[in-house]
Amino acid sequence: SAVISQKPSRDICQRGTSLTIQCQVDSQVTMMFWYRQQPGQSLTLIATANQGSEATYESGFVIDKFPISRPNLTFSTLTVSNMSPEDSSIYLCSVEGRAGELFFGEGSRLTVL
Amino acid sequence: AQTVTQSQPEMSVQEAETVTLSCTYDTSENNYYLFWYKQPPSRQMILVIRQEAYKQQNATENRFSVNFQKAAKSFSLKISDSQLGDTAMYFCAFMTIQGAQKLVFGQGTRLTINP
């Protein structure tokens, strides 16, 4: 299984600001995935990040709000822009394993005041 | 579009008991993966068990086993000899084999193991 590290682990932010979450994997992977878990809810896929191309966003998520970078095969960032309290969530990075499963980072808990 | 339904928002059992968590799904695909993930209070999503739809044999991982009923589109998780460390949110998830590797999650079941 892959070891996935996310930073920050948690943060408290002010409305209108932006925060960038980093995801580092201990092996090279083709695709990385960003999920959001709103309080008391299940996980929802935000976007898929491929190295060398633009991220593919799911319905309801746009690049202006959630810009993603994927500069190499072991690293990705997700930025939550112009934050509002509704963006308070856990954001999780994940990568695919050899047998089709996804492995997840420990998540970044974001609270927007 | 695929959907995953977990009809039990919360469950609670005594330590050492056996508990079964329910999951149903809807898809028109014939080949796919099904997963159970565990999310303890630490919030890390941990893979518990995986089932390939083309395999008739139910997957087993130590105390965890599934009852996969493809025709009924049912995928329940059985935890035997439950332990306090099993306390967590459990999510059932679906992934199609073809196309993007996107997991569709159920709403989750909060399982509490009581001493």
* Identity of the residue in B46, B95, B105 whose CB atom sits nearest the CB atom of A43: B105
Report the pLDDT value the prediction gives residue B42, as an integer from 0 to 100.
79
Report the pLDDT value the prediction gives residue B47, as an integer from 0 to 100.
94
In chain B, which residue's Cα lies nearest the Cα of A43?
A: B105
- In this predicted model, what pLDDT tens digit does every residue of B48-100 receive, in sequence order? 999 999 988 999 999 999 999 999 999 999 999 999 999 999 999 999 877 66
Give residue B75's Cα distance to chain centre: 7
Q: SS3 sequence, chain A? A: CCCEEEECCEEEECCCCCEEEEEEECCCCCEEEEEEECCCCCEEEEEEEECCCCCEECCCCCCCCCCEEEEECCEEEEEECCCCHHHCEEEEEEEECCCCCEEECCCEEEEEC
Taking the CA of residue A78 and the nearest CA in chain B, the distance in Å comes to: 18
DSSP summary character for residue B99: S
| Residue B43 with chain A: CB contacts under 8 Å | 90, 106-107, 109
Q: Does the distance separating the beta carbons of B101 and A99 come in below 8 Å?
A: no
Q: Does the distance separating the beta carbons of A94 and B45 come in below 8 Å?
A: yes
* Identity of the residue in B44, B102, B106 whose CB atom sits nearest the CB atom of A104: B44
Q: Does the distance separating the beta carbons of A92 and B45 come in below 8 Å?
A: yes
Q: B36 falls in which pLDDT band (50, 70, 90)?
A: very high
Q: Does the distance separating the beta carbons of B33 and A41 come in below 8 Å?
A: no
Average pLDDT per consecutive 10 residues, chain A (113 residues; last block may be shorter)? 91 97 94 93 93 89 96 95 97 88 92 96
